[in-house]
Structure 1
Amino acid sequence: MQSDATVLRGRRELLAAIESRLAAGGGVALHGAAGIGKTAVLDAVAVGAAARGEWVLRLRPVRTERALPYAGLADLVAQLPAEAAEALPPAQRRALAALRQGLPPGGGSPALARRLVLPLLLAHCARRGPVLLVLDDVQWLDAESAELIGFAMRRRPGPRVRVIAAQRRPDAVTARGPGVRSGARPGVLRAGGAEPGGFRVRAAGPGRLEPAGLRRAVRLCPAPVLELAVPPLGADDLTALLEARGLPCRTASRMHEASAGNPFLALTLGAAVAPGPAWRPAPIPAAARELLRDRLLALPADVGATLLAAALATDPTVTVLHRAGREDAVRDLWLATAAGVVELDGEAIRFTPPLLAQVIAEDATAAERSAAHEALAGAAVDPTEALRHRALRSGRPDTAVARSLADAADRCAGHGAGRTAAELYLLAADRCPHALADLRLDWLVAAARTALTGGAAALAGRAAEAVIAAHAPAGHRVRARLVLLDLAGQALADMGETFAAALAEAGDDPALVAPVRLRLTWAAFLTGDPDRAAAEAARTVDAARRAGDRTTEAMALSLVAQVQRLRGEPAWFATLTQALRLPAAPAPDWLHLGPRYMAARFAMMDDRLDEARAELLRLLVVAEHDRIGEARVEVLRSLSEVATRAGRCRDALQYAHRAVAAAQHAGLSPGPTWYTAAVAELAGGSLTAAAGFARRGVRASEQEGDSLYLRRNLHALGQAELRAGETRNGVAALRRLRDLEAESGGADPMIVRWHGDLAGGLAALGEHAEAAATLAQARAAAHLLGATPAITGYLDRATAVVLSESGQADSAVVLSAAAAQHFEQLHQPIEQAHSLLVQGGAERRRRRYAAARVAIGAALAIFLAADAKPWAEQTERALARTEGNSAPGAPPPDLGLTVTELRIAGLVRDGASNREIATQLYLSVKTVEATLTRVYRKLGVRSRTQLSSRLSGLDVPEVTTPV
């Protein structure tokens, strides 16, 4: 696997453990599957050692060199200095000379003399400095070299000679005992010949086997040896790696499950994904297929039949395999587990990665697959499962089989087993003879819809495209196109042709027009066009009423209410009330567009948090039946945001990360869940993680044309940057958000509460007029909608920040204290503590240090109780700035200046002119002059010379966001 700095994402703990062991002497033995990143880890260790001036010897044999005696040793000694060879005794020099001529180092010399060549060479080098042997892919190292390296390490070369060796899982596994054989014909799982001293299976406890070959890396290291597995990358690290390589965010986010966290496999699969629908499966690239086959080739032939049965079973378990005639299933599965092919969770069998099952099935012959389906049909307890396997034995058309499959699919659909129903409908269509062509189209439409609701995106897309490709009636074609639109998720902006075709085929039929118009409404909303969204929603309501479709009418009215609220129109409440009164029952997969969910969202926006949480928990029970996953993800997201505002940071993080995982599993657009994760991290996780989620959310939303979540992710990114001290970056993100919202007609400051954050950042940069204008705009919009205590408190706190930065600390104290009382009454501890923090900062600028410590200490207690880790860390730093000022006459660390004032004063002290200050801080010269006048007045000085004297020895900070 190629090394790349990005591959080392998620390897910090592993590298720390390696460096700790090597620093104390000894060795590290790494193991892991091919492509897992062992070479990248070795490269990082080698680069670090070379940078410290150590002598680094690299060895990376390849498969073809296993049969070349002493090939590895020759490569190793070729990297040693000439004087090391000259210092050898005569016997060892002769052995080394023979080796360099391509001859075995025997030549009649004593065996001990041959073995001492490498230890003596390493000892000579170690006298000059530390030596590190970096041995990669040691499973391919020839046995003779391995023996001599192992001998050298057993001679205890001292702490200055260290080794890090890596090997993959065994390339050949054989078992000794009755009923076990090796060797197989091409195309089927087979066992490669075991290398000398190579892989054998040894007992590791009752009922468990493990490959003895995994000990080779250990034998090549000096004692003490630390054995470490290179683990798969986590979902976040792998997604970030793939994005860094240029993969679209949505593609990258679904690669973790496909690759089981293997970086090379994920990169290979991701590179093969062609532009097109996200649900359409890409073919397995040849490189990925070969990598997966390598694991299978390590297994004895008879294990292959067991794995084929598991690959073809719907829900493979040990019991199913036993019933299917695989008597040695337990032994076979343990061998497969040792080779990294499957994982066992009790009875359940999971292929790692899941694509292995596909490779196994595709590599088997038709006769082998037919025999496996025959055995599984006989093993099935459920008649429907038995029918499925009997149908899969042959692909020939058969009227009786097709009708039986369709009847079984109807029963499964009635029981809510959408995925099974979809597969059976598709099988019925595939087995359908020409005489039943009309029924075939009905079954394909049913397959598309049940696959969609069952969370089987690939099946849904395949069935829908089959309908469109056929000469189907208009109604069938419209329903198929609706499935494709729903599979698009947040990327509806790219579905213009599908929308146009669906409307043309729907004609004047309101029952077909209404659902198409509903999706057009949502597409317009996502792309930030509220006028078009409102127009499409009105058309949807009209068509739904004419069709008597109360559910679609209720969802359209809910979207109308959302548009009205976004535009600051008070009529939203009446519209939502009308939607709630309709006898509508959206399916679980449409729950997030229904009136009940919208009412819960509005309750959260209005800070009626208990009401919002209670309704969302009720909706979560229904959403858990959503197999598409979008409704479940949306409810989890909202629960996270409610928990954040209510000060339950642990709950917020848990809900957010459940939403991220669910979206990745379902292949949904990641932008919304990354926004929620960023918000939760801002409250209770880390600012670094929050910024990472927000940046990725911005990229994902840009790629999918999702204006709504582009703005929200920009808000989270702006907050993270401001709180991390990157004020300019934060203000830039929030200004972009402001401009986008102005273009889309957004007017409700309670939905995305960015105004106060932008105003605070602007004030920190000295842009007080723009900051005041931003807050005035927000107050006017809130007044139009009927300002709640929460928005009043939020804007009061933001105004306090601006006043404090403008030198009006007295007024800032009053407003921030009032905001804290507002939030205390609303039971929003995070916002309350934030207001106290602002109050403490204003008190500090008034030089009332005791009062500042009281306010900031109260904020810290609240943050700690809420598990608001990043807030608590920020507050502790603010509290430290008030310490040391308790002694009478002690100078304050900031002299009562605001952040911008202190920064400008520091630049004056350093000799900068007003114009140079303006250029460096991106301010106007006029702003610099006005600020400098305030500084003179506060410090009681009249000239730049006096100011420089007053600031002598003071550590002036960079521009950061005020607390």
Structure 2
Amino acid sequence: MGIVAGGIGAELFERDEEMKILMDGLAAAQRREGGVVLIGGGPGVGKTALLDVFLRRAADAGAQVFSASGSVSVTGHELAVIKELFLGPEEEETVRAATRSSEGVAEFEDRLFAAMHRETRRRPVVIAVDDVQLADAASLRCLLYLVRRLRTAPVMMVLSESTGPHALPPAFHAELLRHPQARQLRLLPLSRDGVADVIQHHVDTDETSELVADFHAVSGGNPLLVHALLADSRDARRLDPRQPSRAVASTAFTKAALAWAYRDEAELFDVTCGFAILGESATPALVACLVGRGADAVKQVMTALDTAGLLEGGAFRDDAVGKAILEHADAVTKANLRRRAALLLHDDGAPATVVAHHLLAASVTEPWAGRTLLTAAEKAMEEGREELSLDCLRLAGQSARTERERAAVVMARVKIGWQIDPRLVAPWLDALVGALDEGHLKGGDAAWVVKHLAWHGRFGAAGEVLAALSAKPYAGDPRVEDELLVVRHWLRQTCPAVDTNAPGTATRSLRREPQPRHVSPSSYAVELLGTVLAEGPQDHTVAMAEEILRGCRYNETNVEALEAALLTLLYADRPDRALFWCDVLLQQAGAPATGTVVAILSGVRAEVALRQGMLPAAEGFARGALSAISLPGWGVAIGAPLSALVMATTVSGKSGVAGAWLNQSVPEGMFETRHGLLYTHARGHYHLAVDRPAAALEDFLTCGGLAAEWGMDTPTFLPWRTSAAQAHLALGNPREARALVREQLARPGGSTSWARGVSLRLLAATSELDQRPALLRESINLLEAGGSQVELIRALADRSQALHALGAPAKARMVARHARAVADNCGADPLFRRLFRDEVHEGDSGSEGVEGEGEGSSSLTAAERRVTALAAVGHSNREIGRKLFITKSTVEQHLTRVYRKLGVRSRAELSDLFVGTNMGTGAERLARTS
């Protein structure tokens, strides 16, 4: 596969028509009908190659060939081209003497034509001048003299002219084209088919189509560059045969670019460099200002590049072309061009990232560049170009002249570094605090210093900054106060000790008279989260959280607002809505899934999946959150994704994995945050799973004490009471467990589907055996309506055990089948096998266990299922017969068989058997549609 090693031929492609015109001209000359052909085109399109091949064929046909080339280096020398065409060194003095006067020039031209006429007596003559636009004026006069006498002479003249800043005089063009046998050819770049013809003998046939598109995109069909790409690609393939076939622009390509850009024409090279430097920003006016050339010269070069197939939309069609050109410019020249380009684009109002590109390339620190670089850094971060953002910040730091400018750079480093990975922020925190102390931070930037300090566990410094923001120079600044309001709310829901311990600031904002102020989505969202944590779920908080999220977009809204609104939905017992918005935002984030915002959103998504009992998803998103940024970068917030990961792996039966994550070092300050509560709660469940109920109880009670102290004691956020009840049950303390469960039922949020469902399951565990089925039945209904799949499996397991104990094995097996379906749906097979160990064992041995097919609903016929479904939801035999179009007697016969198969004796037992099962749900659907 790939590019085949071998030579690259010099044959012509897509030039058959042009060659035919030239050969027709030669045939006419052989008939003593002289003519002239002017070949035009952009640089590198193959004019010289076409001319060379034609001259060889003319010579082979018996013609006398005279050839020469124009050049800037000889433009000022009289008759330089004519000498190259016809004369030897020994005749130069004769020519010099003959051309000292106009009479001598005329005599010389007559002698020249007479000599040529004598030559044509033996054979036709072909006169060829390549790059005729660079010929000296005297040579052009002689050529026109000959053209006027070609009509009946066996002489063919072929001239090639390259489009560019040097052009033939209009009078020469007019005189030339007045000849009756004059033809003008315009060579164009190769088409895709032409490029395919060039490379098809050098690549494997199954890769030709892909390579043709690649080669044509880079070269624009310019034959010189196509051959150079082929040579480079062949060499690259030879060095590394495993390399995929593609257009490689290397040494040959660079030399080819120089060959057409530096054709002894300084304007061509200079202007081409200007286009290469400016790239997509290039306009004729900007290029002219950049390289100090006239607008006309720039337009001519632009035309030349366009006809050569190298421009697209006013810029090089591929970066490889511009890069190859600039490799021939020295470093000082390139740096000067970059500096001038930056200033021109800055003054022209170009985007900051475009200007920054030139500043970085030249490594210049202009006085005006600082603000532009900071703007570019911020914009690059929004576009996901992290490296460009950091490079802009580094150069901005070098260009800062005043303390205020240096403070602005530090703040930008902190803002952008935090978005990439908060670990990058830590080295700049002291400088940030220093800038704050000196009064060099502006507006809202000052308030967010508190958050960055708290995030990294520097709670003491955060408290001091809170106090400092109440004094000069920030006191009374509305921008500081608006942002400080958001920060303080964030602190109360995240690191409550920082805000309450800040000297002299605890109630300052509350004591002031209400005044109109700007309220941002972040402010609304963090206030809503605080309300839910303190007061439990309320309908208006859910509505407001959704309203905030509808107006938010990834990368356009502070992550504090996004996180708070999502957690408000989750802790208001609406994980379905939190799931929807999480997925919307993460989809907007796109790939790669890295950065602080992605990390935080993934952490929330893991918590949502955990609340729903979707264990594989919870583990996957938690791992994604931890890999999106470094572990140190998480700061005190690492407790949130770690808690989700530990809980998911613990419930999945991966206690070894959970223990390994718990052994990870975490910041001590984490335990003074909301994230620390989640972490300690997850650790408690790990202790339960590994049979350490006393350690688990200590963790749960610690969570409870801190949650109450911080005003976050709602079961929809942290159900520590039911968790502690499980630990008490494991320790043999049912009375203590029952008391905690009743407390949780009475708490704000304790009546939600999820919280009440979990509470009733544990209440059943502390109740008499005959009371348990009813409590568990209600628990199952609640958890099916809006609870966790994992908690539903646990409730089903408890109900199955209770039914077994009460002597109803058929009902127990039906419940176990329901649990099996739930476990399959949420990826909780290890939990199912652990809770239904006896049923799984019976099923594996082929008896009537959970996996068996001998009894239960799976043994019913389709007709029996339809009758059973309607009977289970309370329809009479007559109603069932009418709905199913069968007789009442047939209904009674079906029910008799169903009772026998399922081991029940009445409609009440039948209804109780199917409550909370898949068949029960099907019964409801059938009743509605029948």
TM-score (norm 1): 0.46
**Which structure has the larger Rg over C-alpha atoms?**
2
TM-score (norm 2): 0.47
